[in-house]
């Protein structure tokens, strides 16, 4: 299938990053969100990120201008109906994703491939609620999308070979690397990453180390570019908790039990960078540990 037009549902951190790389690769992009403010913020973010790429010599000014022209925004979900490929990048809640698909499906072409950027939810289950399980799969980008080279491609039990091949071709056109993952809770990256972050929170919760000592230990002792608690703040503590709950519920193993301290931070609304407080307080000039 020749994919030329890509619809993206959700203009948040992931959605605007996906729009950026798709448009830069030459695809026509239609970006939708219920919030006009979110759409404008997404365009501003994409413009700023492209300007930085121009400044570093990675993108020409002509390519930046052409990329921005390929991105059209809309608040009407139905406008995505003629897209060749749709990528849902809404919040990591299954009920929200199902509602989006339910509203979108009546407007889609029969040939449209429908995908989700979910980082943990069952592709087979999401696909079963649509009219095209054979043309449905997981299309999981890493954050930040313009920088990270990996894309997880996850087939549901009904996904056909043509759909998988078409999505893999898109990843190749982006200049990124596709990793094929089986449809089990959290797939590959988050199946390994999130329990590590959760264990770091337990290490903090049990008083083994402070925020600063835990992050320094992993950065200097394991050569990680970011400490696990700093990374959790970057991802969003609500997202980390949601993925741990998917692992715990889906695999029924106590080793995936979310740390009570992680739950407490989310209950407080301390979600990390996006709310200005998480394991670090970002309201000043320099992030300060909160424990």
The model's pLDDT over 31-43, given as tens digits with 9 standing for 90+, comes to 999 999 999 999 9
Q: What is the pTM of this model?
A: 0.90
What residue ranges define each of the domains in the chain, with the CATH number in brackets? Answer: 3-180 (3.40.50.720), 188-287 (1.10.1040.50)
Per residue in 230-273, pLDDT tens? 999 999 999 999 999 999 999 999 999 999 999 999 999 999 99
pLDDT classification of 7: cutoffs 50, 70, 90: very high
- The overall average pLDDT reported for the chain is 96
Look at residue 204 in the predicted model and tell me its pLDDT: 98
pLDDT classification of 176: cutoffs 50, 70, 90: very high
Alpha helices for 206-270 (secondary structure H): 211-221, 228-235, 237-251, 260-267
Look at residue 72 in the predicted model and tell me its pLDDT: 98
33 has binding-site annotation: yes
Residue that wins the pLDDT comparison between 71 and 120: 71
Average pLDDT estimate for 123-128:
97
Per residue in 57-97, pLDDT tens? 999 999 999 999 999 999 999 999 999 999 999 988 899 99
* 125 contacts 98 by C-beta, under 8 angstroms: no
Average pLDDT estimate for 116-134:
95
pLDDT classification of 1: cutoffs 50, 70, 90: confident
Look at residue 131 in the predicted model and tell me its pLDDT: 96
274 has binding-site annotation: yes
Catalytically annotated residues: 119, 140, 152, 190
Give the 3-state secondary structure of residue 6. Answer: strand
Cis before 144 (ω within 30): yes
For the chain, percent of residues with pLDDT exceeding 70 = 100
10 has binding-site annotation: yes
What the block records as the tokens of 189 is 């990256």
**What are the residues whose beta carbons fall under 8 Å from the beta carbon of 153, sequence distance 6 or more?**
137, 138, 139, 140, 164, 167, 168, 171, 178, 179, 180, 181
92 has binding-site annotation: yes
What the block records as the tokens of 206 is 């049990």
Look at residue 161 in the predicted model and tell me its pLDDT: 97
Among the listed residues 138, 127, 126, the one whose alpha carbon sits nearest the alpha carbon of residue 182: 138
d(CA 72, CA 38): 14
143 has binding-site annotation: yes
Look at residue 271 in the predicted model and tell me its pLDDT: 98
For residue 132, is pLDDT > 90?
A: yes
pLDDT classification of 159: cutoffs 50, 70, 90: very high
């Amino acid at each position: 299938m020749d994919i030329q037009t890509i619809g993206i549902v959700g203009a948040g951190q992931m959605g605007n990053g996906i729009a950026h790389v798709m448009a830069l690769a030459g695809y026509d992009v239609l970006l939708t969100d219920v919030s006009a403010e979110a759409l404008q913020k997404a365009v501003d973010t994409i413009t700023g990120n492209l300007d930085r790429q121009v400044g570093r010599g990675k993108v020409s000014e002509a390519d930046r201008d052409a990329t921005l022209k390929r991105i059209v925004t809309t608040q009407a979900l139905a406008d995505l109906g003629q897209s060749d490929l749709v990528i849902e990048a809404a919040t990591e809640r299954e009920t929200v994703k199902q509602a989006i698909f339910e509203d979108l499906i009546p407007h889609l072409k029969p040939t449209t491939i429908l995908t989700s950027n979910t980082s943990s939810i069952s592709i087979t289950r999401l696909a079963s609620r649509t009219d095209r399980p054979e043309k449905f799969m997981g299309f999981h980008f890493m954050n930040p999308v313009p920088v990270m080279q990996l894309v997880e491609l996850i087939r549901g039990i009904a996904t056909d070979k043509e759909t998988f091949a078409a999505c893999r071709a898109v990843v190749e056109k982006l200049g990124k690397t596709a990793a094929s993952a089986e449809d089990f809770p959290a797939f590959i990256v988050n199946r390994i990453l999130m329990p590590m972050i959760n264990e770091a929170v337990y290490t903090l919760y049990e008083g083994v180390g402070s925020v600063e000592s835990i992050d320094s230990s992993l950065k200097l002792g394991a050569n990680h570019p970011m400490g696990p608690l700093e990374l959790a703040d970057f991802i969003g503590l609500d997202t980390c908790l949601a993925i741990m709950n998917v692992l715990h519920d889906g695999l029924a193993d106590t080793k995936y039990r979310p740390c009570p301290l992680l739950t407490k931070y989310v209950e407080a609304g301390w979600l990390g960078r996006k709310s200005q407080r998480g394991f670090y307080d970002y309201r000043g000039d320099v992030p300060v540990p909160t424990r």
